[in-house]
């Protein structure tokens, strides 16, 4: 951090530390001392100053330090008082999920986007209230974004009603991360919000056959439940830029990833399948 601050002072640049309160509190205390020295030198209108034992550090007074933080989230810490006093706070309002969803759905070509946006956001709100509290559950803007991306993908590749497209997107994004006891509750919520709508059986025949072949090669049983989990992993990867596979030790997480890597690679050149070289 001291090396970073030296470069910042020497160039007079602005910086922004995103998710600043993810840093451990003991490290934040040291950073508070560093920032204090910089701000005091700027106030004194110095061209050079001594910074953490280094003399003659160049200082251009346009240098500025900004931070963003999400208080109250898991894995975040409260800023020490001496560090908090160095920054002027600026509060942000909670985004209007329904309006964002409506505009995005319009841009994807959905005609009834206002009603569908309300259903999507309502389903997430009810899920956050009724499902069990789990560390890996998220019903915020990231999940909304993933659902909208999945809906746009369905709009391009499906010839069915818009309700079914959005319902399928809700299932693809949320079902893979839910515990077994929460899945029936989530289905009840979506059944109330999308009355009379049922999802057809959308088969990925080529991928399912590839999964079965790979399972036979590495001598594991490819039952319906295992294939379903493989397809959920594939759908999740299509709508998120990053994800984690979680579960108890020795339940097959690494094997699942290996099966999907080999299955998708074997279909390279067909539709959107590519060779995966990741370890």
Q: Which of 41, 54, 45, 66 is nearest to 6 (CA)?
A: 54
DSSP states along 210-240 = HHHHHHHHTT----HHHHHHHHHHHHHHHH-
Residue 160 lies in a domain: yes
Domain CATH for 111: 1.10.8.710
**What is the Cα–Cα distance from 174 to 104, expressed in whole angstroms?**
19
Q: Is 76 helix (H, G, I), strand (E, B) or coil?
A: coil
Asked whether residue 216 falls in the same domain as residue 166, the answer is no
Res 176: pLDDT? 87
Res 126: pLDDT? 94
Query: Rounded to 5 degrees, what angle do the CA atoms 252, 254, 256 make?
Result: 65
Q: Which of 73, 185, 68 is nearest to 135 (CA)?
A: 73
Res 79: pLDDT? 79
Residue 272 lies in a domain: no
Number of C-beta neighbours around residue 30 at 10 A: 14
Helix axes 205-217, 224-239, angle to 10 degrees: 120
Asked whether residue 140 falls in the same domain as residue 55, the answer is no
Within 8 A by CB and 6+ apart from 37, the residues are 49, 51, 52
Res 189: pLDDT? 94
Domain region containing 157 = 97-193
Asked whether residue 116 falls in the same domain as residue 40, the answer is no
As beta bridge partners, residue 65 has 15
- What sign has the CA pseudo-torsion 129, 135, 140, 144? negative
β-strands 54-58, 48-51 pairing: antiparallel
Asked whether residue 245 falls in the same domain as residue 173, the answer is no
Res 73: pLDDT? 66
Of 144, 163, 193, the domain-final residue: 193
**What is the Cα–Cα distance from 173 to 197, expressed in whole angstroms?**
18
**What is the Cα–Cα distance from 272 to 156, expressed in whole angstroms?**
13
Residue 167 lies in a domain: yes
Res 26: pLDDT? 82
Res 82: pLDDT? 81
Predicted TM-score (pTM) of the model is 0.67
For the chain, residues with pLDDT lower than 50 are none
Residue 123 lies in a domain: yes
Of 84, 115, 142, the domain-final residue: 84
Res 114: pLDDT? 94
Within 8 A by CB and 6+ apart from 195, the residues are none
């Amino acid at each position: 951090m001291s090396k970073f601050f030296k470069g910042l002072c020497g160039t007079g640049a602005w910086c922004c530390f995103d998710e600043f309160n993810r840093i451990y509190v003991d490290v934040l205390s040291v950073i508070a001392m560093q920032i204090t020295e910089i701000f005091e030198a700027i106030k004194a209108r110095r061209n050079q100053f001594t910074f953490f034992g280094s003399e003659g550090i160049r200082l251009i007074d346009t240098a500025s330090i900004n931070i963003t933080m999400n208080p109250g989230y898991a894995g975040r810490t409260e800023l020490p008082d001496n560090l908090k006093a160095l920054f002027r706070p600026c509060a942000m309002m909670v985004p209007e999920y329904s309006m964002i969803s409506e505009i995005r759905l319009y841009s994807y070509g959905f005609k009834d986007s206002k009603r569908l946006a309300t259903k999507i956001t309502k389903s997430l709100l009810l899920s956050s209230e009724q499902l069990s509290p789990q560390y890996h559950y998220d019903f915020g803007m990231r999940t909304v974004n993933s659902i909208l991306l999945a809906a746009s993908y369905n709009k391009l590749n499906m010839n069915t009603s818009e309700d079914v497209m959005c319902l399928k997107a809700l299932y693809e994004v949320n079902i893979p991360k839910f515990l077994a006891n929460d899945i029936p509750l989530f289905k009840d919520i979506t059944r109330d919000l999308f009355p009379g709508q049922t999802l057809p059986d959308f088969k990925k025949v080529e991928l399912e056959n590839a999964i079965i072949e790979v399972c036979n090669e590495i001598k594991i049983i490819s039952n319906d439940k295992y294939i379903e989990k493989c397809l959920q992993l594939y759908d999740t990867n299509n709508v998120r830029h990053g994800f984690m596979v979680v579960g108890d030790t020795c339940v097959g997480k690494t094997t699942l990833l290996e099966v999907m890597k080999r299955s998708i690679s074997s279909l390279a050149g067909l539709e959107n399948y590519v060779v995966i070289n990741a370890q």
